[in-house]
Chains A and B, each alone.
Chain A
Amino acid sequence: MKLPIYLDNNSTTPMDPRVFEAMKPYFMNVYGNAASRNHAFGWEAEDAVEKAREQVAKIIGASSKEIVFTSGATESDNIAIKGAAEMYERKGNHIITCEIEHKAVLDPCRKLEKKGFEVTYLKPDKYGMVHPEDIEKAITDKTILVSLIMGNNEIGTINPIKEIGAVCRKHNVILHTDATQCVGKVPIDVNKMNIDIMSISAHKMYGPKGVGALYVRRKSPRVKLAGVIDGGGHERGMRSGTLNVPGIVGLGAACEIAMQDMEKDHKRIMELSDKFKTKIFEALDETYINGHPTERLPGNLNISFAYVEGEGLMMGMKDLAVSSGSACTSASLEPSYVLKSLGIGDELAHSSIRFGIGRFTTEEEVDYAVDNVIKAVNHLREMSPLYEMVKDGIDLSKVEWQDHH
């Protein structure tokens, strides 16, 4: 077993060797521009791109004509939101999203607000879920777009997108979902789930970084998006720029492999994360799962270890690569806005660690990680004045803290 252990699969995933094999010929040998329509080099590249388009379409139940290749999910989110806003501006200026979306959705929304759009940021429930009735209440005759994450990157909660999509359909509003964490991990069917636009990323499903896709519905309803990057009119005008052929081939291969292995991966990852969770909860008191107890991304465990600060804990688990919602790990010194929105309290937000188990995590690694976590939490609790106070029967909420900030 090699150290450190990678348990940050919601940040990015290692590339599957099968994906790398598929990509290899497209760096050196097949180097044509997929837009070169009049020679064999171009045709070969185009064939590879079209095959990948089919592979991406298949895993989400779409038609290949509905797939637009991008540089990743951040770009996909930008095109979806800014592109829809520009295209449907005459119909209305209201957008609905949620407080705990990824910044790639929130920041474009904020920018649109400056341009005169109105954005409703829904507050999720305490598990980080948005319900169809919340959406229905927020829809007005000016609403043109709902943008809601499918599986939350931090806390793992999966939204009821199908039911939300049905509400959007009923009111004739376009639904965009950022499915970066979900594609390749959970079954998705854009038709059954009433999705109109969907963001996809390769590097979250064992593909390469720097490539993604946007699903854009072509019929009932036909969705049109104004491009964000102009020049050359590639990808039906929605995303100009020479196509990243090796990356696109990698995304396609990652989708095909994910589709083949989804059941097997899901079962194995759930077994490992259940084992991890059970052992941690048996050994440590005052430990809480953030996000939904059942409706969550396979392998994602966001856990708050009360009375222990997240960055300190990460330092104590130096052999584990994880993420924290603690302020100290961010440049802003603010704890995670996602955890804050759930109302779990700043102190528990500071104490949170996100573990992400993936396709290449082994049982040996999970066992090692469990030991490491338990040891580090116990070490830090022994050092924690808060843990001592609680054990002495002091109610921390009644203490007058000398806040130095």
Chain B
Amino acid sequence: MAYSDKVIDHFNNPRNMGKLDTKSKTVGTGLVGAPECGDVMKLQIEVKDDVIVDAKFKTFGCGSAIASSSLATEWLKGKSINEAQAIKNTEIVEELSLPPVKIHCSVLAEDAIHSAIEDYKKKNN
């Protein structure tokens, strides 16, 4: 299967790969997927005044899964929680030109965003 140039770029030069302090009150962490399914994404956001000031990811998965989460962190930075919540997996599919068999990678990235936001909200209720 041929990958799009954008997938290859994100794979070779992942943006925002790394971790934030999980215990911090300003950090929300989402961990989605399962090892036996072949993909696990950890996505973290740091929020100040309702705006995502930083985002980091780590992903176990194929090139498309890595690219989807890398792209997600790029898009998250600077967005409000509500704007972040509105990111759709189809936008990721379009941006990375993912083939149908890889759509689940973008769904996982959307799940990771929601899960990170949920975690942040839970901490700050």
Complex Cα spacing A310 to B61, Å: 8
Decide: B38 and A327 in contact? CB cutoff 8 A: yes
Q: How many positions in chain B have a CB within 8 Å of any CB in the partner chain?
A: 32
B39 within 8 A of A: yes
Give B21-55 interface residues, CB cut-off 8 Å to A: 31-42
Decide: A386 and B38 in contact? CB cutoff 8 A: no
Closest residue of chain B to A330 (Cβ to Cβ) is: B101
Closest residue of chain A to B34 (Cβ to Cβ) is: A401
The minimal Cβ–Cβ distance linking A402 to chain B, given in whole angstroms, is 5
Give A223-240 interface residues, CB cut-off 8 Å to B: none
Decide: B60 and A386 in contact? CB cutoff 8 A: yes
Which of B31, B58, B104 contacts A384 (CB under 8 A)? B58
Decide: B33 and A404 in contact? CB cutoff 8 A: yes
Q: How many positions in chain A have a CB within 8 Å of any CB in the partner chain?
A: 31
Please encode chain B, from 100 to 124, with 1 for each CB lying within 8 Å of some chain A CB and 0 for all others: 0100100110010001000000000
Which of B11, B31, B58, B107 contacts A315 (CB under 8 A)? B11
Complex Cα spacing A312 to B34, Å: 16
Q: Mark the stretch among A84-92, A181-189, A242-250, A345-353 that contacts chain B.
A: A345-353
A133 within 8 A of B: no
Interface centre among B38, B39, B62, B111 (most CB of A within 10 A): B38
Interface SS, A side: helix
A335 within 8 A of B: yes
Q: Do A403 and B58 form a contact, CB below 8 Å, given A311-B63, A383-B14, A383-B66?
A: no
The minimal Cβ–Cβ distance linking B87 to chain A, given in whole angstroms, is 16
Q: Do A312 and B62 form a contact, CB below 8 Å, given A385-B40, A401-B33, A403-B34?
A: yes
A3 within 8 A of B: no
Closest residue of chain A to B110 (Cβ to Cβ) is: A404
Decide: A383 and B101 in contact? CB cutoff 8 A: no
Decide: B38 and A402 in contact? CB cutoff 8 A: no
Complex Cα spacing A312 to B63, Å: 5
Decide: A396 and B37 in contact? CB cutoff 8 A: no
A370 within 8 A of B: no
Decide: B37 and A403 in contact? CB cutoff 8 A: yes
B19 within 8 A of A: yes
Which of A315, A331, A346, A382 contacts B3 (CB under 8 A)? A315
Decide: A382 and B33 in contact? CB cutoff 8 A: no
B59 within 8 A of A: yes
Complex Cα spacing A345 to B33, Å: 16
Q: Using Cβ atoms and an 8 Å threshold, which residues of chain B touch A316?
A: 11
Q: Using Cβ atoms and an 8 Å threshold, which residues of chain A touch B60?
A: 307-309, 312, 383-387
Which of B8, B39, B42 contacts A309 (CB under 8 A)? B39
Closest residue of chain B to A397 (Cβ to Cβ) is: B35
Complex Cα spacing A312 to B68, Å: 13
Q: Do A309 and B17 form a contact, CB below 8 Å, given A331-B101, A333-B101?
A: no
Q: Using Cβ atoms and an 8 Å threshold, which residues of chain B touch A307?
A: 60
B65 within 8 A of A: yes
Q: Using Cβ atoms and an 8 Å threshold, which residues of chain A touch B19?
A: 388
Decide: B38 and A350 in contact? CB cutoff 8 A: yes
Decide: B37 and A405 in contact? CB cutoff 8 A: yes
Which of A310, A311, A328, A386 contacts B35 (CB under 8 A)? A386
Decide: A347 and B104 in contact? CB cutoff 8 A: no
Q: Using Cβ atoms and an 8 Å threshold, which residues of chain A touch B111?
A: 402, 404
Complex Cα spacing A386 to B11, Å: 18
Complex Cα spacing A203 to B33, Å: 40
10 contacts between A and B (CB under 8 A): A309-B65, A315-B11, A345-B36, A346-B35, A386-B35, A388-B58, A402-B31, A403-B34, A404-B33, A404-B104
Q: A383-B59, A403-B33, A403-B34 are in contact. List 12 more A-B contacts (CB 8 A).
A: A309-B60, A311-B63, A312-B62, A312-B66, A315-B3, A315-B11, A328-B38, A384-B58, A385-B58, A388-B19, A401-B33, A404-B107
Closest 9 CB pairs of A and B: A401-B34, A346-B36, A385-B42, A347-B35, A311-B62, A350-B38, A385-B58, A315-B63, A328-B62
